Chains A and B, each alone.
Chain A
Amino acid sequence: MSFVPHSPLEVKSMLDTIGVSSIDELFSDIPEDLKPKSFNIPEGKSEFEVIEYLKGLSFKNATSLINFLGAGFYDHYIPAAVDEISSRSEFYTAYTPYQPECSQGWLQSIYEYQTAVCQLTGMDVSNASLYDGGTALYEACMMAIRITGRNKIVMDSGVNMTYRAILYTYTSNLNIEFIETSVVHGQSSRREIYKHLDDKTAAVIVQNPNFFGAIDDHSDIVKEAHARGALLIQSVYPLALGILKTPSEMDCDIATGEGQSLGLPLSFGGPYLGFMATKREYLRKMPGRIVGKTVDKKNRAGYVLTLQTREQHIRRERATSNICSNEALCALRAVVYLSLIGKVGFKELAELNYQKSEFAKSVIDKIPGVEVKRSSPTFNEFTVLLPKNADEVVSKMVAKGYASGFPLGRFYKGMDDYLLIAVTEKRSKEEIVKLAESLEAVLCD
């Protein structure tokens, strides 16, 4: 069984129509000596057996830990209606909306998603989404290089390590100079950034909140970058934008980020959602699909994929990006999520994340020998200095039922005793208090 409908009689009649005597004849272009040297695949199973088998595997994952682990990917609540809508097969079994007349539902949804991204970031225009936050940052970097005709990038080391790694891989064969600047007291080092800003700099890349959870106002860096003819790219945590100063308020040129926090499951790393928004003047340099509004001959409003001449299927080797897909279904989840949470809810939700995390700071700060880093304000994630190696502490906390945070020594040299703790709206007061108690117990061991 492989979901094929053909009865043996139908097969025979189709072969007669084609004028061949067997299916094998249809494959006669494949020379005998090129037939598979092996095709060692187990025989199939029934639906029930496959589900049971994979259920068994799913039980081998530790998903019952109480989650204080973030580091760019967060355990937020997803309203049931988000799953419900994205499970409608008219959405999920549809193709890319290249044929607008039979894809208006998708096109309008993406137009609404683009609008929502603009509302969050304050930017003028958004594309229809990219693979993930890291890819979005890379594409923004290439876009800045195209706009300025320069090839030097100054990047704050408070940018998620995962993204920086992706950026270096993607650009390894290209002539681009990267300079990484330090984080000082939790925030971007102005002194270092300004030192490296020159007439070769295409862009400065910062992140808000940064990897350590610290929030910042990059307006002064933006001014300085613009004075040197460089662009400012800011990678943001969209949920924080419920209360946090927007990239647009700081006059950033391109905003990117990971949309996972907007109604997407963690799902072991994907699929996620890279968003990108920019100023109107740069929109023609923006990669990826874009939906625009127009009219038909009877003047009825409708939506189409527009500016396709930038894209690979038209422009081939001269395209602005090789990307073909966007993450449509993930973008749909995000816009449904944002519509449900709504204008007031979105702000309240960000406040709640902030308040809970501030409460967690106050409780954890009381543990003897533990220091919560308070040199700069944070949104819902913060750095803690432990009296012991964070790796060891974290693995002992697993035994107590907690994913207690991200051991920073994994990404940053010399930070072996630092732990990054995230607190979302899902963490109750009791869970936060118990986390602190368990942490104290583990540290006394």
Chain B
Amino acid sequence: MRLIFQKSIEGRRGFKIPKKDSPLDTPFPKEYRREEDAELPQVSELDVVRHYSNLSRMNFSVDTNFYPLGSCTMKYNPKFTEKIARLPGFAELHPLIPQLLGGGLLAQGSLEVIYRTEELLSEITGMSAFTTQPMAGAHGELTGVMITAAYHKFCGNRRKYIVIPDSSHGTNPASAAIAGYEVVVVPTDEQGCMDIDKFKEYLNEDLAGVMLTCPNTLGLFNPKIKEITDLAHKVGALMYYDGANLNAIIGKARPGDLGFDILHLNLHKSFSTPHGGGGPGSGPVGVREELVKFLPIPRVAKRKDGSFALDYEHSDSIGYIAPFYGNFSVLLKAYAYMVYLGKSGLIDVSEKAVLNANYIRVKLKDYFNIPYDRVCMHEFVLSAQEQAECGVRAIDIAKYLIDNGIHPPTVYFPLIVKEAMMIEPTETESMETLDNFIDVMIEAARLSKEDPQRLHRAPENMPVGRLDETKAARDLNLRWQKA
């Protein structure tokens, strides 16, 4: 499709600017004026609406397609939460309004939303307090590692490194490194969990923290998790919980009870706020009692009279990691979702997420190699290694799924499984959707033996086929320019 810039017609307008109603006419100082106007499109409102409506139809989305995308929890996003986020009382509130009168008297509604969200998240995860500031999961990780550093500094020694299993998300090592730590990678054992004996080699005075996902990225809950957290605590290290996979255990286990000290959640995963094509997310961070004083400022506090206030009085705080209180409208949607579901609804989520994943796992195990084949949690990883022997790789199967209207699972991750496909159906998908996916996967397995070319050609039913990514990186074309 042509770009909106290419649809420009000189002199066409899409929006009426209000008339100038002031009597003055002060010319903008010449020496500060830009030489040429910004070359933006010149199009009508219909041009814009039609262009972007048609572009939107070239996307898969949860509302139109099944997304068994491991680690990403692409569940259904309820519509009423969108309606709430658009309420003018929330959408039009300036973030500096609390600076105008009595530390928050003009923003009681939003401050209460933040306070109640933190309260619920603390109870769900078994933590003492939360900050809603982090604007994404990775941002939460960075905040958590900074809190780790602040804690160790406070105890008199910053320590040197962070332990991360080889099955972790890439953001874990990246966040640890950005915060100034060295990263030590521990391999996975035959059961699919972090190798405890190898882990023990790093238990010393230089260990600052351990970052784990639980259940891990193979979708497995480590029954020895408490042993790991106890070992880390013995040498004074902190345990960090990557909350990407919380959807599996809500109401079944709490990271705080498992011995974790800090965690981030992904509200756009577990609590159903939309992914928005890659953001905005939200990654609140929770900590246990000893670490509360290091949380970012401001925090939201409840006064004795029941009103809410912004609280900046924390001398040990790591400071600001966001301009204000986080991605507020994302929090608001997550909060509305939690209030709607309530206790039994939340438990239902993890039960059905786990049921759905195991159903697919069992039905596919005769067709694909499942390296860690035991009861999984919300996701599992299969390997297309057998198919690879016929020259069909995970990516080929992924593209074949696209031809069948299914968004591919996460592929080639975790790195420890060859030809990995990481499947997470989520709780909101029905049995017939799962069955259809299973049939398509079985068909892909058959084709890999009988007609591998069909898989190599996929996708054939989309606006474009497989794109030349090497060319994209070599002959960089990152913007349109007027000829």
A296–B355 contact, CB under 8 A?
no
Residue of A nearest to B25 (CB): A355
Interface presence of B40 (CB below 8 A): yes
Selected from A40, A50, A85, the residue in CB contact (under 8 A) with B49 is: A85
Which residues of chain B are within 8 angstroms of A17 by Cβ–Cβ distance? 359, 362-363
Which residues of chain A are within 8 angstroms of B204 by Cβ–Cβ distance? none
Chain B residues 248-266 with CB under 8 Å of chain A are 249, 251-254, 257-258
Which residues of chain A are within 8 angstroms of B155 by Cβ–Cβ distance? none
Chain A residues 1-43 with CB under 8 Å of chain B are 1-6, 10-11, 13-15, 17-20, 23, 25-31, 33-43
Which residues of chain B are within 8 angstroms of A444 by Cβ–Cβ distance? none
Q: Please judge, given known A-B contacts A61-B109, A270-B325, A339-B40, whether A54 and B84 are in contact too, CB under 8 Å.
A: yes
Which residues of chain B are within 8 angstroms of A356 by Cβ–Cβ distance? 20, 22
Which residues of chain B are within 8 angstroms of A307 by Cβ–Cβ distance? 473, 476
Q: Please judge, given known A-B contacts A91-B61, A267-B93, A345-B17, whether A57 and B112 are in contact too, CB under 8 Å.
A: yes
Interface presence of B320 (CB below 8 A): yes
Interface presence of A257 (CB below 8 A): no
A30 to B382, CA, bound (A): 22
Q: Please judge, given known A-B contacts A169-B318, A296-B468, A345-B13, whether A323 and B325 are in contact too, CB under 8 Å.
A: no
Interface presence of B436 (CB below 8 A): no
- Binary CB contact string for chain B from 173 to 210 against chain A (1 if under 8 A, 0 otherwise): 11111111001000000000000000000000000000
Which residues of chain B are within 8 angstroms of A84 by Cβ–Cβ distance? 49
Interface presence of B231 (CB below 8 A): no
Residue of A nearest to B277 (CB): A328
Residue of B nearest to A36 (CB): B254
Selected from A241, A352, A358, A395, the residue in CB contact (under 8 A) with B38 is: A241
- Binary CB contact string for chain B from 127 to 157 against chain A (1 if under 8 A, 0 otherwise): 0000000011111011000100100000000
B478–A271 contact, CB under 8 A?
no
Residue of B nearest to A347 (CB): B37
Q: Which of A148-156, A284-292, A435-443 lines the interface with chain B?
A: A284-292
A38 to B431, CA, bound (A): 32
A102–B59 contact, CB under 8 A?
yes
Selected from B97, B223, B279, the residue in CB contact (under 8 A) with A326 is: B279
A14–B17 contact, CB under 8 A?
no
From A60, A244, A317, A358, residue with most partner B Cβ within 10 Å: A317
Which residues of chain B are within 8 angstroms of A97 by Cβ–Cβ distance? 59, 277-278
A111 to B5, CA, bound (A): 11
Q: Please judge, given known A-B contacts A61-B90, A243-B33, A342-B43, whether A348 and B17 are in contact too, CB under 8 Å.
A: yes
Q: How far apart are A430's CB and chain B's nearest CB, in angstroms?
A: 8
Interface size class, chain B: 35 or more
Chain A residues 72-109 with CB under 8 Å of chain B are 72-73, 75, 77, 79, 81, 83-85, 87-97, 99-106, 108-109
Which residues of chain A are within 8 angstroms of B428 by Cβ–Cβ distance? 3-5
Residue of A nearest to B259 (CB): A34
Which residues of chain B are within 8 angstroms of A195 by Cβ–Cβ distance? none
Q: Which of A113-121, A196-204, A226-234, A381-389 lines the interface with chain B?
A: A113-121
Residue of A nearest to B193 (CB): A29
Selected from B78, B158, B175, B254, the residue in CB contact (under 8 A) with A37 is: B254
From A106, A294, A325, residue with most partner B Cβ within 10 Å: A325
A131–B136 contact, CB under 8 A?
yes
Q: Please judge, given known A-B contacts A43-B344, A322-B141, whether A6 and B431 are in contact too, CB under 8 Å.
A: yes
Selected from A36, A50, A124, A317, the residue in CB contact (under 8 A) with B80 is: A50
Which residues of chain B are within 8 angstroms of A336 by Cβ–Cβ distance? 48, 52
Q: Please judge, given known A-B contacts A94-B62, A428-B21, whether A266 and B332 are in contact too, CB under 8 Å.
A: no
Interface presence of B75 (CB below 8 A): yes
Between-chain CB contacts (< 8 Å), 26 pairs = A1-B341, A42-B339, A45-B342, A50-B336, A51-B84, A60-B112, A95-B60, A99-B398, A103-B58, A104-B55, A108-B3, A112-B3, A112-B4, A170-B321, A172-B149, A267-B85, A270-B135, A283-B476, A315-B174, A322-B177, A324-B170, A325-B280, A327-B280, A328-B279, A332-B277, A340-B48
Excluding A341-B40, A344-B42, 16 further A-B contacts by CB distance (< 8 Å) are: A1-B340, A41-B123, A73-B94, A100-B467, A103-B277, A115-B3, A119-B39, A126-B479, A131-B322, A246-B34, A249-B34, A302-B463, A316-B174, A317-B183, A327-B280, A398-B100
